[in-house]
Amino acid sequence: MNAQPELTQALLYLDGVSVSFDGFRALNNLSLVIGPGEMRAIIGPNGAGKTTMMDIVTGKTRPDEGDVLFDGRVDLTRLDEASIAELGIGRKFQKPTVFESQTVEDNLLLALKGPRSAAASLFGWRNRVKASELDGVLETVGLAEHRARLAADLSHGQKQWLEIGMLLAQDPKLLLVDEPVAGMTDAETEETARLLTRIAGNHAVVVVEHDMAFVRALGCKVTCLHEGTVLAEGPIDAVSANERVIEVYLGR
Ligand SMILES: Nc1ncnc2c1ncn2[C@@H]1O[C@H](COP(=O)(O)OP(=O)(O)OP(=O)(O)O)[C@@H](O)[C@H]1O
């Protein structure tokens, strides 16, 4: 492992990560560095490796090569999915998976009481937020007025925010969010950008999304993946003006 000076600063550090499925290179020498509390948008065409990248971070997929470090010291390639979650890495899949028959508040309480293992103390994960901090989570995800409603009665967007709240209740250091605004109304999309912006700072947030207006609203650094590697990275204006990015993604 080649230790870089920035290693100690990075919350998530991927370097030279490659993985193949049946000879097809889904990730090809991918390097990505996310700082503590940073918000990062990941864009790129279908099959670029965005989901595979998140699978590597959460331990669902093992890389063939490369370094995957969390918090500057923990080698994620040696841990299973449960241990990685306990370290403080939360993942939000595209479809909401809330408990429909429970109220908003009870969904959050269930998340607070979620399973913990000895790994939590072993790896020094901080305590989950306390029940008394539930109000703060409800405020953050904009559901304070809806706390007594059944999750089943929420709009699609509100269910997505509730699930983000359930992840926040576990006080992750890093949140991976997959296409959060797919299927949302324009108003919900704008609210989601505000919500994630509120969350970043206290938690690093990596958002995979195709909706470029939403990505712009996040106001963060953007990484465009293509063929399993970084094609362009930087401010949205620079990335969206990049000729290769236009050619393989935006211009289609
Ligand atoms: N478990 C797997 N087995 C075989 N092939 C896989 C597996 N996971 C991903 N792939 C392949 O790897 C490539 C990268 O897929 P990935 O899902 O990471 O892309 P993506 O950027 O997330 O695309 P999308 O925007 O469509 O979600 C694809 O060609 C996909 O078919």
Averaged pLDDT in 10-residue chunks for the chain of 252 residues:
58 97 96 97 96 97 97 93 94 89 91 55 48 85 96 96 93 95 95 96 95 96 98 97 94 74
154 C-alpha to ligand 1 centroid (Å): 31
Structure tokens at 75: 């080698």
Closest CA to 144 of 124, 155, 158: 158
Ligand 1: nearest atom to the Cα of 48: 21
User: What is the predicted pLDDT for the residue at 9?
Assistant: 80
Nearest protein Cα to ligand 1, atom 24? 46
Q: Residue 47 C-alpha to ligand 1 middle, in angstroms?
A: 5
Ligand 1 is surrounded, with C-beta below 6 A, by: 21, 26, 44, 46-52
**Cα(183)–Cα(166) distance, rounded to whole angstroms?**
20
Q: What CATH number does domain 5-250 carry, 2.170.130.10, 2.60.40.3880, 3.40.50.300, 1.10.10.10?
A: 3.40.50.300
- Cα of 65 vs centre of ligand 1, distance in Å, is 17
Atom index in ligand 1 nearest the CA of residue 61 equals: 1
* Mutation pick for ligand 1 pocket among 21, 57, 226, 227 (CB with most ligand atoms within 8 Å): 21
Q: Are 15 and 34 in contact (CB under 8 A)?
A: no
Q: Which residues of 208-231 are buried (b: 16+ CB within 10 A; e: fewer)?
A: bbebeebbebbebbbbbbbebbbb
Report which protein residue has its CA nearest ligand 1's atom 18. Answer: 49
- Give the CB-side neighbour count of residue 89, counting CA atoms within 13 A: 26
51 CA → ligand 1 middle, Å: 6
- Does the model's ipTM exceed the 0.90 cut? yes
Ligand 1, closest atom to CA 225? 21
Q: What is the pLDDT of residue 59?
A: 97
| Ligand 1 centroid to residue 129 C-alpha, Å | 34
pLDDT at site 121: 43
Ligand 1 mean position, distance from CA 228 (Å): 9
Whole-number Å distance, alpha carbon 27 to ligand 1 midpoint, is: 9
- Contact indicator for 124, 179 with CB cutoff of 8 Å: no
> In this structure, are residues 250 and 212 in contact, taking their beta carbons and an 8 Å threshold?
yes
Q: What is the pLDDT of residue 111?
A: 83
Of ligand 1's listed atoms, the one at least distance from the Cα of 53 is: 18
Name the residue with the closest Cα to ligand 1, atom 26: 46
Cβ atoms of 42 and 208 within 8 Å: the answer is yes
